[in-house]
Chains A and B, each alone.
Chain A
Amino acid sequence: MADNVKPRVKVPRSASAGESVLLKTLISHPMESGQRKDSDGNPIPRSIINRFTCDFNGENVIDATLEPAVSTNPFIEFEAVVPEAGEFVFTWYDDDGSVYTDTKAIAVS
């Protein structure tokens, strides 16, 4: 697991049923591309978040494949339909097998 990996997500507190809401996610991660060399000239192995998913009450919102061209501290913004009150689950998959998750509840008014 890379050091100090910290997910952040921004979800509105509430929405009306069926509304599309804007979600923002950011995770602290070096996204080491595999293209760089260290000061001794040895290649630094690739170590990135290679997949990100968001689900709501068990139903998928987005499933993204990420490549080394995504910047350090990957930021992803997208929209989700909220049919009823429930919980968003955000999951990041690391090259090293680590999985980071965060959850956020949303109310329906």
Chain B
Amino acid sequence: MIFTRRETLVLSAGAATAAFLPMQVNAAADDAIAAFTGGAEVTDGGVDLVAPEIAENGNTVPIEVSAEGAASIMLIASGNPTPGVATFNFGKLAGAHTASTRIRLAGTQDVVAIAKMADGSFKRASANVKVTIGGCGG
């Protein structure tokens, strides 16, 4: 593949932006997580997060999350302007502690699920979702 000078410039500008952006957005996501956990330690595992590797359109991305024994699960889109997505609180009659929904992702990013377990501990899972750009913007 041969790039023209202009294409190369555009691509490197994009790479530069991509390198700087996540720092800001992750800070907002970290704040949201801290508010949910109260700063408690969060360990990996014990949460299943199912998301497409490549979303055909970022406006409607199917997501499924489950955590056996969780009291509640919070979903975070770390790269969105406001990272909060949804928090599912499971009641006494919840079956499997699972929920599916469809969400908006502003771009390629990590989607994070934090589960608050019945014993007060926190577990997490994350999934990287690539958000593609449509054909001609049509």
B93 touches A78 (CB 8 A): no
CB closest residue in chain A, given B76: A69
Expressed in whole angstroms, the Cα–Cα distance for A37 and B73 within the complex equals: 32
Expressed in whole angstroms, the Cα–Cα distance for A63 and B86 within the complex equals: 11
Instruction: Identify which of A3-11, A54-62, A97-105 touches chain B.
Output: A54-62
B46 at interface (Cβ–Cβ under 8 A)? no
A65 at interface (Cβ–Cβ under 8 A)? yes
Expressed in whole angstroms, the Cα–Cα distance for A94 and B99 within the complex equals: 20
Tally inter-chain residue pairs, CB-CB below 8 A.
100
Band of interface residues on B: 20 to 34
A35 touches B84 (CB 8 A): no
Q: Which residues of A contact B80 (CB under 8 A)?
A: 69
Give the Cβ gap from A44 to chain B, nearest Cβ, in Å: 14
Main secondary structure of the interface of A (DSSP, over half): strand
A78 touches B88 (CB 8 A): yes
CB closest residue in chain A, given B97: A79
Expressed in whole angstroms, the Cα–Cα distance for A55 and B94 within the complex equals: 10
Give the Cβ gap from B118 to chain A, nearest Cβ, in Å: 15
Instruction: Identify which of B2-10, B37-45, B101-109, B129-137 touches chain A.
Output: B101-109
Q: Which residues of B contact A (CB under 8 A)?
A: 59-61, 64, 77, 80-96, 98-105
CB closest residue in chain A, given B99: A78
Q: Which residues of A contact B (CB under 8 A)?
A: 20-22, 33, 35, 54-56, 59-72, 74-83
CB closest residue in chain A, given B105: A69
Q: Which of A33, A63, A71, A81 has the most CB of B within 10 A?
A: A71
CB closest residue in chain A, given B58: A71
